[in-house]
Amino acid sequence: MPNKITFDYSNAVPFINEKDMINIEASIHKAHEHLHKRDKNASDALGWVDLPEQYDRTEFKRIEKAAEKIRSDSDVLIVIGVGGSYLGSKAAIDSLSHTFRNQLKPEKRNGPEIYFAGHHFSQSYLKDLIDVIQDKEVSINVISKSGTTTEPAIAFRLLRDYLEKKYGREEAAHRIYATTDKEKGALKHMASLHGYETFTVPDDVGGRYSVLTAVGLLPIAAAGLDIKRMMEGAQEAKKQLSEKSISKNDAYQYAACRYLLYKQHKVMEMLVNYEPKLHYVSEWWKQLFAESEGKDGKGLFPVSAGFSTDLHSIGQYIQEGHRHMFETVLHIESNTENITVRETEDNSDGLNYLSGKSLHDINQKAFIGALYAHTDGEVPNLVLSIPKLNEYYFGYLVYFFEKACAMSGSLLGVNPFNQPGVEAYKKNMFALLGKPGYEKEAEILLRRTKK
């Protein structure tokens, strides 16, 4: 099996050709220099670039130890976080575990049931979650880089109450793990006050680039997945994707294709998978690219689809609707399961032509069929071939997208490491909720609603 994920843009021709790739090389080199030759002392957001090799080994051991404790004393782990503080671990756990993991008997599950909270304000979700965890041993991993994000902060206040009522303050504190800034923020303060074990989100790693830090690794390890192997995959990606030359660097090719298609009014990118387990990989990818690129009136709009399911809903639009999109397909090459269609005597459903074929074979044909159909319909297709769904390739994929995203933002001429626009709704919400310090905004909003 190859040690890498490969990228193929041959199905984006005639929109992209080799000459375009040669022309864009100089811009790629310039951005590459910036990404790699940074001043290591500068406070930038490039800590993720070397992270697969230069991560904190001592903290890594503590993560493994904490994960072991959670696995031995908990039936349930609740991971509290939003955006980059939960999407990466959710993506890893969903894509690398049994599809119905939480419903399996404990002995078949390899670790506690894992639930996510603090990624919205839904009352019924929280009530239902509390129903489900009754009579079970529970631990919490609360994750917030800033330590002040409202959704996880509220969920933590409520679930901490639940835990303290159930176990008492002291025992609850032994079941709470906080992942946050090393010194500032409300969460760090609370952790010190109550004695929670803490893990660090490095200063120079932004939330959406943080899945390979404690942010992602603790929940992933608690789910029984091999985080060492994940880091090895990321290390290999780091090695291969540190090539400056576009012809040798698949992440840069992908970034270049996105930019070239964008320039031809293909302003929407649809990340496509043929495996429901990958749903949250797409959700993670959407945040990575949307927060990194959507600014200054620029940016590709990232959307996602799960095929063949969505071919039966939005397939019509993709084939014949407005021609403003391209697809990037996550193609999983092999599958260890082998469910085949058997022949029947009467062939009453007309499916005997498929006998002996596995569902994996059929899925592969759906992929090729849609690829050709959509390309014929002027929807360019980029393909990322992933040899197998496992920890190694997950780590590789994360690093691939992070590198491509940083390059892609640089080509667009935006800062791929900030997200100033996310504050606008928060400001209004705080004003409407009466948060101290937002009185002026509240007045403006009041006038606006009276008009």
Ligand X SMILES: O=P(O)(O)OC[C@H]1O[C@](O)(CO)[C@@H](O)[C@@H]1O
Q: Which residues are catalytic?
A: 291, 426
Using the rule CB under 6 A, is 146 a contact of ligand X? yes
Cis amide leading into 14 (omega within 30): yes
Among 89, 95, 139, 149, binds ligand X (CB under 6 A): 149
C-beta closer to ligand X: residue 21 or 214 = 214
Of 144, 154, 116, 119, give the one whose Cα is nearest residue 132: 116
Using the rule CB under 6 A, is 387 a contact of ligand X? no
Please report how many Cα atoms fall inside a 13 Å half-sphere around the Cα of residue 289, on the Cβ side: 27
C-beta closer to ligand X: residue 111 or 216 = 216
CA 112 to chain centre: 21
C-beta closer to ligand X: residue 286 or 374 = 286
- Applying CB under 6 A, the span of 43-51, 143-151, 275-283, 323-331 interacting with ligand X comes to 143-151
Residue with tokens 């001429």: 413
Using the rule CB under 6 A, is 182 a contact of ligand X? no
DSSP class of residue 343 equals: P
Using the rule CB under 6 A, is 4 a contact of ligand X? no
Number of residues that bind ligand X (CB under 6 A): 14
Among 45, 63, 80, 82, binds ligand X (CB under 6 A): 82
C-beta closer to ligand X: residue 82 or 129 = 82
Task: Tell me the pairing of strands 138-144 and 113-117.
Answer: unpaired
Q: How far is the CB of 280 from ligand X (least distance, A)?
A: 14
* The two structure tokens encoding residue 384: 């990322």
Residue 416, Cβ density class (10 Å: 0-12 exposed, 13-18 middle, ≥19 buried): buried
Task: Report how far residue 48's alpha carbon sits from residue 145's, in angstroms, rounded to the nearest whole number.
Answer: 15
DSSP calls for 233-279: HHHHHHHHTT--SGGG-HHHHHHHHHHHHHHTT--EEEEEES-GGGH
Q: How far is the CB of 205 from ligand X (least distance, A)?
A: 11
- Applying CB under 6 A, the span of 83-91, 249-257, 273-281, 381-389 interacting with ligand X comes to 83-91
Among 84, 88, 202, 395, binds ligand X (CB under 6 A): 84
- The length of the chain is 451
Residue pair 178/142 in contact (Cβ under 8 Å)? The answer is yes
- Applying CB under 6 A, the span of 33-41, 79-87, 119-127, 299-307 interacting with ligand X comes to 79-87
Q: Which of residues 286-325 bind ligand X (CB under 6 A)?
A: 291
Query: Which residues, 6+ apart, have CB-to-CB distance to 257 below 8 Å?
Result: 9, 12, 16, 382
Neighbouring CB atoms inside 10 A of 430's CB total 17
CA 162 to chain centre: 29
Q: How far is the CB of 45 from ligand X (least distance, A)?
A: 11
Sign of CA dihedral 272, 277, 279, 282: negative
SS3 318: helix
Task: Report how far residue 44's alpha carbon sits from residue 38's, in angstroms, rounded to the nearest whole number.
Answer: 9
The 28-67 contact track toward ligand X, x by CB under 6 A, reads ----------------------------------------
C-beta closer to ligand X: residue 27 or 428 = 428
Among 11, 74, 85, 282, binds ligand X (CB under 6 A): 85
- Applying CB under 6 A, the span of 1-9, 37-45, 144-152, 381-389 interacting with ligand X comes to 144-152
Among 11, 74, 89, 144, binds ligand X (CB under 6 A): 144
C-beta closer to ligand X: residue 429 or 432 = 429
- Applying CB under 6 A, the span of 141-149, 239-247, 316-324, 379-387 interacting with ligand X comes to 141-149
Q: Which of residues 396-435 bind ligand X (CB under 6 A)?
A: 419, 422
Q: How far is the CB of 290 from ligand X (least distance, A)?
A: 10
Cis amide leading into 380 (omega within 30): no
What's the alpha-carbon Rg for the chain, to the nearest Å?
23
C-beta closer to ligand X: residue 111 or 152 = 152
Query: CA-CA-CA-CA torsion for 314, 320, 326, 329, nearest 10 degrees?
Result: 50
Binding site for ligand X (CB under 6 A): 82-85, 144-146, 149, 152, 207-208, 291, 419, 422
